[in-house]
Chains A and B, each alone.
Chain A
Amino acid sequence: MEGTTVLGRLNWQAADVVGVAAETPQVKTIAFDVPGWAGHRAGQHVDVRLTAGDGYQAERSYSIASAPGGTRLELTVVRIGDGEVSPYLTDELQPGDQIELRGPVGGYFVWEPGDGGPLLLVAGGSGVAPLMAMIRLRAAAGSDVDTRLLLSSRGWDDIIYRDELQRLNGNRLTVTHTLTASQPPGWAGYARRVDAGMLAEVGPGPAERPRIYICGPTPFVEAVAEALVHLGHQPQHIRTERFGPTGS
């Protein structure tokens, strides 16, 4: 491109695996060291490229789950049974291995402490990853911006980052779970899909003009965004990140 403020070409970079941790039975977080990583903003994603022995290449996009800082990046990957990329990432990668990635990508679904709040973060399943980058950045920066996270998971054992979210809860961060498929004995929390009533209870309401970030599978994001508009939130305050083929 000529005549514009180009931030620089997004080159493929080598990324060294430095850690692999199970989040749930289906989900792992892989930590990379990316020498020369120029940094990212909370909410951005990277493209990952795998090259097979015969030269065949496959690429996928993953949100960055770690807060900005240094050359370490964490990606949280759901194992898709018949997937071309995710089973390799979750089952095969070990510390010492190397893959290629490039990024960061995306300049809209991002938050920085200076943007302020209040914040309403709504995630379905692994859609929590880019929101976790925001929550981790908020904590690292010592921000006390009023932040509500509403996380929809299938069951208690499917909650990604469960222990860390429990630790971070407080200091004006409120974490609310809804468990849509199964609940542990004595569960007193939400046990249904996210709806307008739940969003109204979790708040903040439209009068507080929260910045809203929604991430998850396309039908989840469609339903949550629609419910929030119905509650009176301004569409331009609602930022969405959908995953899965959508027909566009």
Chain B
Amino acid sequence: MSAGPTPHTPLERWDFTIAGEVGEPRHWSWEEFRALPAEEVTTDIHCVTKWSKLDTVWQGVRVDTLLAGIETSAKYTVAFSDGGYTTNVPLADLTGGKAWVAFSYGGEPLAPQHGGPARMLVPHLYFWKSAKWVRGLRLAATDEPGFWETNGYHNYGDPWREQRYWGD
């Protein structure tokens, strides 16, 4: 889902940031990000608008890799993106090999319409939680609903419990 025009950020202007309750923020340029260890992920994805796609193939960097060595007491994160979107995810849902910053889909670089150059990949939650055009994560002690979450969508978004909207 997206609510406005597709952003087109050139790779030389792209970076990825981890900020918030982490002491000094960390930044990676595109080259630095792509030099991190990456892995292939084959997974099903579930959109809130009632479709699922099985066995999609991605390449990405584990969020664990980006967080390595960071000491934080934060329990929550907000992913922030070009175009101004945000989405909130508990930190525990991004660690332990459950989430990636993906840069490739189906063996091709991730196209802008699909969230490229990089998007979050959090396959165990509804796909709006996998922020397109992601530019960073902000870690926080308190939960802060993001763009879709303040516009009627569920705060957590578990597809197996069909948590689509407020109160589900």
Contact = CB atoms under 8 A, between A and B. Distances in A.
**A, B from the same assembly:** yes
A15 B7 CA distance: 39
Interface in A1-55: 1, 4, 6-10, 47
Contacts of A248: 1-2, 45, 47, 114-115, 119, 127, 130, 132
B168 A10 contact: yes
Interface string A50-71: 0000000001110000000000
A246 B3 contact: no
> Chain B interface mostly helix, strand, loop or mixed?
loop
Contact of A4 (B2, B49, B115, B155): B155
Nearest to A240: B4
> Chain A interface mostly helix, strand, loop or mixed?
mixed
Given A236-B84, A246-B113, A247-B53, A225 B4 contact: yes
A228 interface: yes
A79 interface: no
B83 interface: yes
Interface residues of A, number: 33
Interface in B28-76: 45, 47, 49-51, 53
A139 interface: no
A238 B50 contact: no
B23 interface: no
A107 interface: yes
Given A240-B5, A248-B47, A248-B115, 10 more contacts: A1-B154, A6-B167, A47-B164, A61-B50, A225-B5, A235-B83, A248-B114, A248-B119, A248-B130, A248-B132
A187 interface: no
A4 B119 CA distance: 27
B5 A9 contact: no
Interface in A222-248: 222, 225-226, 228-229, 235-236, 238-240, 242, 245-248
5 contacts: A6-B166, A7-B152, A47-B164, A107-B150, A108-B151
B47 A228 contact: no
A225 B6 CA distance: 8
Contact of B5 (A7, A10, A47, A228): A228
B155 to A, nearest CB: 5
Nearest to B142: A3
